[in-house]
A and B are shown apart, each in its own frame.
Chain A
């Protein structure tokens, strides 16, 4: 009889009870599991948990949020914990808390920015938060948190959302800081709250991946800017050439400082200016005038 067979026959019956006792009392969830961050009993006073917390993986996320799940996958989603908390006063009104574990802090920001409402309020939860009529979202570390009031409005609902959000934020580990990659758009010209991170298909082009897009303004000119992240000199050149091949009336202007501008007409956005310098690739579009845009791009790629 082989060693493997002997092991199977004699060792496992002895080892299994030991293994079982070690694992059975080790706690239900891993330390970084989103389910572990859900408030266990109540989320804000007067809102008690209903049933057990649920968890979802990539395979099962669509069971909860249907096709919307596909939005999460490019951002490295791997697990979500969810729980519903109902009002003591009216059990038909609930607060649904969902904690999504994304690929990274930048990914969590990306999801947050997708949902951020223009007129939402900051409530001091997580790295950045946004409260709108019946929804609170924020992100912290690699977690994106979505809290939704359902079943109708009720007096004190907004306060409950805020308190619940802060309860959750206190339980989520990790620093309350923005992704360091956003420092490139932390500039006076960029309009705060308009930054978005897209891991794929920036501007609707499959060759523009991992980039930030935002609204911006310089005196007299409003425009949209974008910049790719994590590019190398080689990949920036490839993207530049690809961009050049699709614009019409393209004019390339190589400066002595190692910076190359391309001005042309993009098939989707009309006039564009893009720049390549070293490993930097950035651009501006949707502008009414081009005055001051080249210096802006030059400083962006400094």
Chain B
């Protein structure tokens, strides 16, 4: 255990709510785990020490920035949920914030959300988004009016400008003016933005906005995020912006042979351990995912979680390429390494789709395929992530040719 991990363990276990028995169990298990060299065994001990959590634990709420809304730390990203009944179970168990969009399924996702909040509208906060391309007054008003109709409500709690990548006040002038009008009319209560790209710039814009116009930011944030995103989140939160995290579980990179690793919960906990994040909105398709995710509320991020995420990262590292292309500059034969690695990921990563892998690979010009790689080792020295490029090209020749 290095110093950071030890500090994290101390921080995460030093939380209120741990009773004497739990303290002793964790203490004994933690000590034993620390004494045992095998990480897997140590983790098993930690797992054994955990008591069985209730199926639906008591919800935990945080304040969404200057909106003052108290929302559940695990809230609902409704995009993937086909049936309103699944949403309803979440609402019945204290989840009180749901995120949808005018765009999802051509507006049909809003219909699903509308059906789920019928009769309990005052207990659930609804966040939706205008269409990405809507920036004019007419477009925004049309989107909001349509959302109100499809959601079956007369107000939207948080209306979000979708997918900001770079912002200037001039660009947003008409948008702000229109949203202010809608607020005045009582059709929307608060305004926010969403950002998937260039998050730091967007968060900093919100923090520095002298008008303090936007109240929330829905931002891509997970354990792989650049530290600068965390810093920008902190800055925006201190300026009163309510931070909601999305893409918290990184994606469904399913690693065969990893055993019982629930990296989803660990990843969610990692995000929520940041006090500047009000909530996460994982997408939940079914009851199993719902139970797994909302069980996280009130849990601490532990050393076992850190190990889990470490193992997850380790597991994907041998074949996980960021496709940055930096190594290609150094390849004397012009091999398209990142595309070949992507093809290999299709074949051997979570996708396990050999057809897709070969299709992608075969789209490459022949003079850039793995067969051209002579194993001269130059690329290995230039991979910023330390991947053994030559070995991967050799593997690609065998798997994809």
Interface residues contributed by chain B, number (CB under 8 Å) = 54
Segment with Cβ contacts to B, from A55-63, A167-175, A183-191, A276-284: A55-63
Partner of A200, one of B104, B138, B285, B360: B285
- A25-64 CB contacts (< 8 Å) to partner B: 30, 33, 57-59, 62-63
Nearest residue (CB) in A for B365 is A23
Interface centre among A20, A58, A65, A135 (most CB of B within 10 A): A58
B79 interface contact, C-beta 8 A: yes
Neighbouring B residues of A203 by C-beta, 8 Å: 83, 85
Segment with Cβ contacts to B, from A66-74, A230-238, A288-296: A66-74
Partner of B285, one of A65, A115, A201: A201
- Contact between B287 and A268 (Cβ–Cβ < 8 Å)? yes
Bound complex: CA of A16 vs CA of B365, how far in Å?
Answer: 11
- Contact between A204 and B81 (Cβ–Cβ < 8 Å)? yes
- A165-215 CB contacts (< 8 Å) to partner B: 196, 198, 200-201, 203-206
A275 interface contact, C-beta 8 A: no
- Contact between B86 and A66 (Cβ–Cβ < 8 Å)? no
Neighbouring B residues of A79 by C-beta, 8 Å: 359
Question: Contact size class for A?
Answer: 35 or more
Bound complex: CA of A201 vs CA of B86, how far in Å?
Answer: 11
> From residue B367, how far is it (CB to closest CB) to chain A in Å?
5
Bound complex: CA of A64 vs CA of B233, how far in Å?
Answer: 24
B187 interface contact, C-beta 8 A: no
Neighbouring A residues of B286 by C-beta, 8 Å: 200-201, 204-206
Bound complex: CA of A194 vs CA of B106, how far in Å?
Answer: 16
Neighbouring B residues of A24 by C-beta, 8 Å: 365
8 smallest beta-carbon distances between A and B, as pairs:
A204-B86, A201-B286, A8-B374, A268-B85, A201-B285, A206-B288, A115-B106, A206-B286
Residues of A within 8 A of B (CB): 4-5, 8, 12, 16, 19-20, 22-24, 30, 33, 57-59, 62-63, 65-68, 70-71, 73, 78-79, 114-115, 117, 132, 135, 137, 150-152, 196, 198, 200-201, 203-206, 267-269
Q: Could you write out 20 A-B pairs with CB less than 8 Å apart? A: A5-B374, A12-B372, A16-B367, A16-B372, A20-B365, A66-B162, A70-B79, A70-B283, A71-B80, A71-B104, A78-B359, A198-B82, A200-B285, A201-B289, A203-B83, A204-B81, A205-B286, A205-B287, A206-B287, A268-B83
Residues of B within 8 A of A (CB): 77, 79-83, 85-86, 88-89, 101, 103-108, 132-133, 136, 138-139, 162-163, 194, 196-197, 246-247, 252, 283, 285-289, 323, 333, 342, 346, 351, 353, 356, 359-360, 362-363, 365-367, 372, 374-376
